Chain A
Amino acid sequence: AQSVTQPDIHITVSEGASLELRCNYSYGATPYLFWYVQSPGQGLQLLLKYFSGDTLVQGIKGFEAEFKRSQSSFNLRKPSVHWSDAAEYFCAVGVYNTDKLIFGTGTRLQVFP
């Protein structure tokens, strides 16, 4: 069965520092992968997605993610974090031949000035 694991429940970084949020998936075929962000009191917003092609994907707000098939990973990165990036981040995998997504449990990012 497909699954998504986000090993880090909570991450704290200083403003200006680099960021990497981990995501591992379990999926038999070529995965369709997504990163969403949820700010407090808001719905989820798509940051970026990977379907095929270049394994380094650029998203909104300066985020990028790299698909590594050998490691079953799709980690999210940002070179310099801003205080406004404090939020919860969800990795998700699309379920083949359905409209459904399987979401990870989320990583809460805290940014210190």
Chain B
Amino acid sequence: DARVTQTPRHKVTEMGQEVTMRCQPILGHNTVFWYRQTMMQGLELLAYFRNRAPLDDSGMPKDRFSAEMPDATLATLKIQPSEPRDSAVYFCASGASGLAGGPRTDTQYFGPGTRLTVL
């Protein structure tokens, strides 16, 4: 049963520290998404990649957040320096892009999330 994996599942850190979250997409998927979920804002798309190329990071605070895909099996989301307002659950999702017209990705498969607490 193929799944998206995320590490760590929980992270508690102090303000100013660097945080790195990792995601392993489902093998064969070529799109990877990073979302942030909070009570106040709901589910927000931070960035996404297709074939490892960043396509849209307009939802991400550029001054402190960065997202990369070093290879097809690993996506990373870094926050440096972290702030208390970054406390949230961060989800990675992957999918297969290739539909003609419409949304290019059929179904997004979500990982279990990383719960980040910044003190």
Contact = CB atoms under 8 A, between A and B. Distances in A.
Whether both chains belong to one complex is answered with: yes
Nearest to A46: B107
Contact of B101 (A49, A96, A106): A96
19 contacts: A34-B107, A43-B112, A44-B110, A46-B107, A46-B108, A49-B107, A51-B102, A95-B103, A96-B103, A97-B101, A98-B55, A98-B56, A98-B103, A99-B33, A99-B104, A99-B105, A100-B103, A103-B42, A106-B42
Contacts of B43: 44, 90, 103, 106
Contacts, number: 65
Nearest to B45: A100
Interface of B: 4, 31, 33, 42-43, 45, 48, 50, 55-56, 91, 93, 95, 97, 101-113
Interface of A: 30, 32, 34, 36, 41-46, 49, 51, 90, 94-101, 103, 105-106
Nearest to B42: A105
